[in-house]
């Protein structure tokens, strides 16, 4: 009779071990489901962010390709002139009243962009148009970015503020 309780004891122990193993597998499965749902939520958030940034990324790509086009179109200019040097060389009597000149490197393109704002208190309109035309064809070219004109009290004279941009390789 002693054998039957031993078998029951072993059977009970085996059932308890199997039950514990089954519970542990349920816990592992639940954790795996939670991790999967967190990963899916994270993936969906990443896709949503990617979709919202797509227009910005396209703009950055367009900007970078435009920089590369500009860099390809520019010749190698060993001794680039500043806008002040350009004015002094070509229009010595038409010096601007004030200059604001800034330069910055544009990313990895190797381009240096110089922006210049020149102000004249009084300048003949025809001379200002000659300055702009000559600046556009200079080496390197100074492209007119913006201009503000105010009529002067004197005939054929204007107050002017002109902004130019130049790219140098």
Confidence of residue 47 (pLDDT cuts 50, 70, 90): confident
Question: And the tokens for 89?
Answer: 């060389």
- The string of pLDDT tens digits covering residues 53-95 is 888 888 877 877 777 777 666 665 556 678 888 888 888 888 8
Nearest to 96 by CA among 105, 107, 104, 87: 87
What pLDDT was estimated at residue 72? Answer: 66
Q: Is the pLDDT of residue 148 over 90?
A: yes
**Whether residues 46 and 102 fall in one domain:** no
Which residues have C-beta within 8 Å of that of residue 108, sequence separation ≥ 6?
none
- pTM tops 0.85: no
State the total domains in the chain: 2
**Whether residues 90 and 163 fall in one domain:** yes
What pLDDT was estimated at residue 163? Answer: 94
**Whether residues 68 and 88 fall in one domain:** no
Q: Report whether the peptide linkage leading into residue 140 is cis, meaning its omega lies within 30 degrees of zero.
A: yes
What pLDDT was estimated at residue 149? Answer: 92
The residue whose two tokens read 């309780």 is 5
> Which structural domain range is residue 19 located in?
1-73
- Which of 73, 106, 121 finishes a domain? 73
């Amino acid at each position: 009779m002693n054998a039957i309780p031993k078998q029951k004891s072993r059977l009970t122990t085996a059932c308890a071990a199997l039950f514990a193993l089954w519970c542990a597998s349920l816990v592992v499965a639940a954790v795996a489901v939670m991790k999967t749902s967190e990963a899916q939520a994270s993936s969906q958030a990443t896709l949503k962010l990617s979709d919202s940034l797509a227009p910005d990324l396209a703009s950055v790509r367009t900007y970078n390709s435009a920089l590369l086009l500009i860099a390809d179109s520019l010749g190698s200019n060993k001794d680039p002139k500043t806008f002040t040097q350009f004015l002094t060389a070509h229009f010595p009597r038409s010096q601007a009243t004030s200059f604001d000149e800034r330069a910055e490197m544009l990313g990895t393109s190797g381009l240096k962009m110089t922006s210049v704002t020149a102000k004249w208190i009084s300048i003949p309109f025809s001379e200002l148009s000659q300055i702009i035309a000559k600046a556009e064809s200079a080496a390197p070219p100074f492209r007119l970015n913006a201009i503000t004109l105010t009529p002067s009290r004197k005939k054929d004279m204007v107050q002017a503020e002109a902004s130019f941009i130049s790219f140098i390789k």
